[in-house]
Each structure stands twice: as C-alpha cells, then as structure tokens.
Amino acid sequence: MAEPKLSTYRAKRDFKVTAEPSGDHKVAPADRLRFVIQKHDATRLHYDFRLEHKGVMLSWAVTRGPSLDPADRRLAVEVEPHPLDYGDFEGCIPKGQYGGGTVMLWDRGYWAPEGMTVEEGLKAGDLKFTLDGERLQGSWVLVRMKNDREGGKRTNWLLIKHRDDHAVPGDADALLKDNAASIASGRTMEEIAAGKAPGPKPFITAAPKGSKTRGRAAAAAVWNSNRTDPEASSEAVAVKARSAKVAKGSTVKAIPAFVAPQLCCSVDRPPSGEAWAHEIKFDGYRMQLRVEGGKATLKTRKGLDWTHRFEEIAAEAAALPDCMIDGEAVALDGEGAPDFPALQAALSSGKTGGLVFYVFDLLFLRSEDLRALPLRDRKARLEALVDGEGADAGRLRFVEHFKTGGEAVLSSACRMHLEGIISKRLDAPYVSGRSDNWTKAKCRGGQEVVVAGWTSEGEGQLRSLIAGVHRDGRLVHVGRIGTGYSRSTVDQILPRLKAVETGKSPFEGPGAPQTAAGVHWVKPVLVAEIESGGWTGTGNLRQASFKALREDKPAEEVVQETVAPVETVEGKPQPRNSKASKAEPKPRAPGKKPTGNVVGGIALSNPDKVLWPPADGEPAHTKRDLALYYEAMAEAIMPHIRGRPCSIIRCPDGVGGQGFFQRHVGQGTSALVTSVTVWGDRKPYLQLDRPEALIAMAQTGALELHPWNCLPDQPEVPGRLVFDLDPGPEVPFEAVVAGAHEVRARLEAVGLEAFCKTTGGKGLHVVAKLAPEKAPPTWPEAKGFARDLSTAMAADRPDLYLVNMAKAKRAGRIFLDYLRNDRMATAVAPYSPRARSGAPVSWPLAWKDVKPGLDPKAFNLRTGPDLVGKNKAWADYDASARPLRAAIAKLGKKAAA
C-alpha cells in the first residue's frame, strides 16, 4: 500500500539533488507504531509531525510546534505521506528544492490510536492517540477543522494535548525553548546547518537491539548532505557493508606495530569515471590508529607515538576490536570545517577534547590483513566496524565518499573553503609509499617549507620567516613568508625559533641570502605549512602566507610539490600489489630553462608541441614556451584578469590548426580554474584567479586571454572602458597612433585617465579604468557612453573614422569599436599572447612611445619576459580610476553645447 501513497512525495522532489530518502529503501517492521517530529526551518519555521501507518509516515506541518497546554491548540496542516526512513533524516534540503532548509530530529518514539482504528479516526476527523516519546508523552488528539470535514479541499487540523499527568497548563512554548537540540545528535539547528557532527543515531532504520550493526549515522554522510549543494549531494554514495558480501583478507598472527602509509600524487584536477571514489581532503594530522587488547595507540606518518597528544580519541578507540585504521586527526571550526591552526592551538594548550578522528581506510581487523583487498571492500568493512562496534561518542567518524563527479565534488569543496579532495581507485589495494592509485587536487596553492630563519625589527618581533625546500640534496632559498601572523601566533612560534637559533645560514648553492641586520638563522628542523600564489620563474614562492608549523613531517623530506596532468593517471591499469615509487619528482633548479615537462610545479603533456611555427624572424614557440611565458608574466597579467570571467582562444594544434573560442567551464577543465556563475547563463564561466591557472591554460593550448571588462568579482558592474581602433586595409599605422591620441584627449576632457596598449595586431586599444560608485553605472550606460564618444569622433572626421563594423565600409578608415563595453563582451588582456604569426602579445605602452615608428611586433612571446621588468608604462593605472557617471554628465553637456 505504500507505493501509491508516496507518488505525491516523489513527484515534488529531485533525488539527484536532495539527500532526502526516496522511499525505495525497505524498512524492517517494528513491534509498535513509530512517530517522529522534525523541526524544519524552510520558508518559515515549523514542526513536521509524522505517524507511522501501513508502511508510510502520515504527516502534518504544525506551524508553531506542539504545546503541553491543553488550551493551546496548534494548527496542523496535513501534507503528503512520507517514506518510513524519512524518520531518520536530519540535515539540509538544498535551496530550490521543495521544503528547502534545515531539518532536525526533535522527538521520536512510539504511538498508538486510542479507542478507535486509525482509519476510523481519520475518517471522522478526530484521531485520538497516545505518544511514548522522549519529549512528548500521554494522550493527544488531531481534530480536523469543522469547515474541512465534509470533502473540502483544505486539510487543516488542530493538534491538542489532552488533560492528563503529562499536560502542563500555561506551557505555551516552554517545551520548545527548553528542548532546542536534536534528540538524535544533540546538535542545534545552527550546528546542523554548519555541518557539525556527530550525525544522528538511527531509529526507524536501526537494527534490532543487540545487533552489531547498530550505531550512529556516519558523520560524513551528514556533512555531504547538509551543505545544500546539489552537485555534491547528487554524487553521495554510502558504502554499505551490511548489503554486500563481506570480503576476507589474508590471515596473520599479529598486527604489525606500524605500516608506512599510502601517499598521494598531486594532479591538476580530479580523475573522472566510475573507477574512482572522491573524499574530502582534511586539513589535519595524518595518523595511524592501532588497537590491540583494548589499548589504542596513535602514530604519525613517520611512526612517532602521539597517543599522549590525542588521549580522548585513543580512549574512545580502545573499545574497538584489534585493528589498524588510517585516518586524520582534525579540529573543526565554527562552521564544521577542518581548521589546521586550531588543531595546532589545541595540541599546544593540551585542550584536545574537541578533536575528532576521521577514518578512511582499514588495514587490519583482528587476524585479517586487508591491504590486498580493493578499497571498496576495505571501506565497507571499516564502516561496519566504526558504526557498529564502538565510537558511539562521535570522535571517530567514518569518511563517506563520492563515487562519481570528481569535478563537482572539488567545486563544492572549494566553495566550502576546504583544502580540496582525495581521489582513490576503488579496485586498488593499499600500498605503502607514493602511488597514483591515490591523487589529490587542491582548491588553493599550498606547500610545506623548511624554516631556515626569521627577520625582525626588535626583540619579541617577527616580520617574516625565511623559507627553503630541498632540491638535488641541498636546501635552497625560496623566499620569505611575510603574512599570516597574529600576535598569539608569534608568541607561540618565536620561542621555538629561538630554541634552534644558530649563527650560520643553512642554505647552499647560488642565490642564498646573506647575513644582514635583523636576520636570524635557525637549524633547518622546523617545517611550516603555507599558502601561496605559486612559483616564479626563478623558483621562488609568490604571495606566501603562514598557516602553522607542522610536527608530523621531517624537514629533510620537504621538496617543492609538483602537479601532474590527470591524464597521466586516468584509466591507467594498476597491477595488484605493485610497488609504489617513493621518489619525489625533482623540480627544476632556479635559473635553468627546463627541458622536461614541468613548469611552475605543473606537468605538461607533449611540451615540445609547436604552437607558433617560425615566422617574421621569430623562432618556433612550443607549449613549454607558452607555459614559461605565463609563468614569467603572471605577476603582470593577474591584476587584469583576476576576479573576472575570462574567455580563451584555444589552438591545441597551433596557430595553423583549428582554433576555438571557449568561455564556459567544460568537462576536463583544470581544478586550478575558478568556476563562476553569471546571471542569465546556467553554465559556469572560466575565471583565472591564480598564476597556476595560467599554466594550466597553456596545457590546453590557450593562446589568448579575453577577460570581461567588469570590476573584479562584480560581473554586473563595468570596471573599465576599452576603445579598439581597428584599421581597415591600407590605413597606415601612423593614423592609428594619431587616432589613439585623439581618443585619449576626448576621455581626458570628460575627466577620465587613458592608457594605451598594442592589440598584438594592427590596431591599438585605449583603456580607461573606472572607479567603484555608490550607484554604479549599468552596462547599457557604459556602452552608451563609449558609443557617444566614438560617434562624435567619427562625425568630426568621417573620412578617418567610422562606427559601422561592416568591413565593406572600412576601407581607408579606422573602425572605432565601442562594442567591447557591453556586458559579456571581452577584450584581449594586457600581456596576453595572440594566436597570430610571430607570437605577438598585447603590450602596455607609455604615451610617449605611442608615436610614428612604433613597431607592435617588437613585443612577443620571446621578448616579453625580458621587457616586463622595465615596463613602467601603466604604473599609475590602478590609481587612475575615475567615476563614469561624472564623465557621462560632462559628455552630455559637451554634446548639448
């Protein structure tokens, strides 16, 4: 009878988006009828009252929640029946879905009709019943309102407490205010919305008492389902050991004291396909849990015993049978996300009671060695173990995974400000050492560095840390870390620096910094976790920011991390029990032009592919050359494209082959690229927000960069004006130069500052930076201003200029292209290469150089990196921003005059 009753419920929901149960799961019957009350913060806050009947949950939405006062009658609107297993749902329904909002399990227990059958009570509109819940008890009644009883369309009822020993006259809402936490997880509505664990203990779907499969719902499942993220929710896959045949491992006499952990290789984006599972990357300490004879130990990735530092986790884990588990010790912030500095602070203060241990792999269980089993089987065994035989207090939390949709999972992780994701082959064994069976894709640049010293301007001060990494067996200098220090951070790390202070620099090789005033050297034994904007062409860090000191990794193992194309691991067959390579990839030495496939820590496929053949006296340029150009020019390019949707022109086979224009994020787009949604288009747009993304673009053959002309991170607000002077055939370049100066003069006459650059072709761009305004101009207003200025210029000299883009009319004249100033319109970025013969680039110019004799071909892929450091042409560009509305008003007055 359940199936037809759930048709309305199912029709209202998209189970590819929402994590609510579909009703397909068969729920074991119970000896007594069950009830559930869920607090539901949707369009408005209410309480969903659900009574089990014939395989479904009859449901009412109680607008103000139940009251223990018999005189306080609460409106209860009847809604569609829900599946039985809905009674265990706690989390968030995604926005845009029916009932979108936070759901809490507020009360649950058993119920029974009183003095009648359920059918009789429903038919009469007077259903009397008793409740035996954890918060509600005694006798109650649902009374259908009088005007709705005789076949009316409305389904309004009243929920009323009968007068008995459980009634509380005058209670009003005291019952609700005094019981604000979940009955199933102990969480508040805010904690559920933020993704805090532990998850709810099942009731409707719980196994009978005494069963080994009883326990709390997996915390990670709650995490995945409560973020209101359709992409992530649609991919969530629970590995259920209870419904699968249990795989057996080989027999061992004893569990070893320690096993070297399996490690990841870094890739530019997550692998795709059903062979892979994707997990959240936790920002904590990788630990190995070993339980033997009721005693638990926790060891670092190098085998150091840290049990004393995680006493509460060890105490809880001691209830498990003999086993060895791989996982990560984590501190959670106020939103339930991993917080590495908070973990460091907890360990430093000894206040570790709030730490949790996320478990993701099971190596041994009792007398079984499970390492040779496929990951899917190991995780199934682990879930049953953690959820069933211990960890009831919630410090041990099973890590659920996503079976498909790695790009969507990474996108969701990045939007939640997480570290990234780990992708693992479901059919692979557990192999110690580094292996491409496990990959990691990060949301932001991260690196471990060796602390070699610090700079200060006085006692008790820290201005920056001096960082290094190991290359070819030597510690080499990679820059300074100048941000990320709070006062408390300085107080914590300064004593540790002073404890290992030395009078000698630990660096070796050329380019090592020299001793100077305010520089303090330390023995190279401390490791720092940092965030950065990537690497420069000389091997130094960009925009490094301090996160915390690490204690779980030896300094001698710290090398520059390289990122490989995901194609190197996707679909690659893996022999079972194959030995993983422990060798770290070697980054290039500073100052050397690489001949390999790694640029800026990112590996290139087919780096010798010729993208520009020899022409116009220029040599051939390869994909490697393009990547090196982007690496060298990133600091100059990024201010003009960061925060703006950016279209690209891709020529995978070079300028002589087929090229195409790409604006949307597509399948296979690197995870280093930001995905941004703009109004009016469901498909996300490309956005290049960090230097590594430029090199990732080189990997795809992106020869040109065309950003929007909006303000950064405000696609609906114009941020600059671009006037494109496009000459027709036979127009001398001197005329284009003269036209650029005239556009400049007209812009300055209405209060705007003008700058000039080559286009990489025969024309010039004149650019004016716009200042943010309280009432910013719209795109039509920006376009209208550019049109009016260009039209006036063409009206004064129709023999030289025109605003009609038809090529037939352009002969002998310059087309003043104002159309670059519309929403979604683009212009080639400063310093961007062009897909044209000779590899020219769009180059910013000083006005004194915009004169006859200017040769745009002098600026190209070969010359650009050497010239950029000397180019101060646009040094005042950022300070030049002026409001457009004032310019529009001035132009209007000039036109009227």
Per the structure block, which two tokens stand in for 843?
């180059």
Three-state DSSP class for residue 322: coil
Phi, then psi, of 751 in degrees rounded to 5: 95, 10
Could you list the beta-strand ranges (E) of 259-382.
262-266, 276-280, 285-292, 295-300, 323-330, 356-365, 368-369
Biggest CA-to-CA distance, the chain:
102
- Which helix (DSSP H) or strand (DSSP E) does residue 47 occupy? strand 45-53
Strand pairing class (323-330; 356-365):
antiparallel
Per the structure block, which two tokens stand in for 769?
């930076």
Best CA proximity match to 6, nearest among 17, 22, 19: 22
Best CA proximity match to 615, nearest among 660, 649, 654: 654
Question: Which residue out of 39, 161, 201, 281 is catalytically annotated?
Answer: 281
Three-state DSSP class for residue 390: coil
The Cβ of residue 607 has, within 10 Å, a number of other Cβ atoms equal to: 21
Residue 889 carries which DSSP code? H
Alpha-helical (H) ranges within 226-337 are 230-235, 311-317
d(CA 774, CA 780): 17
Give CA angle at 724 (720, 725), nearest 5°.
145
Alpha-helical (H) ranges within 291-368 are 311-317, 340-349
Best CA proximity match to 384, nearest among 212, 251, 245: 212
Best CA proximity match to 549, nearest among 651, 652, 465: 465
Phi, then psi, of 425 in degrees rounded to 5: -75, 125
Per the structure block, which two tokens stand in for 721?
């004006």
CB 836 within 8 A of CB 621: no
d(CA 281, CA 505): 35
d(CA 64, CA 68): 12
Catalytic-residue membership of 498: no
CB 47 within 8 A of CB 182: no
Three-state DSSP class for residue 37: strand
Burial degree of 456 (CB within 10 A; 0-12, 13-18, 19+): middle
d(CA 312, CA 356): 9
Amino acid at 375: L
Question: Long-range contacts of range 887-895, CB-CB < 8 Å, 24 or more positions apart?
Answer: 887/747, 887/750, 887/751, 887/752, 887/785, 888/777, 888/781, 888/784, 888/785, 890/749, 890/750, 890/751, 891/750, 891/785, 891/788, 891/789, 894/749, 894/750, 895/788, 895/792
d(CA 656, CA 837): 9
d(CA 681, CA 678): 6
Phi, then psi, of 286 in degrees rounded to 5: -65, 125
Amino acid at 13: R
How many helices (H) and strands (E) the chain has is answered by: 18, 45
d(CA 864, CA 632): 9
Burial degree of 704 (CB within 10 A; 0-12, 13-18, 19+): buried
CB 519 within 8 A of CB 466: yes
Best CA proximity match to 246, nearest among 386, 129, 358, 378: 378
Q: Which residues are marked as active site? A: 281
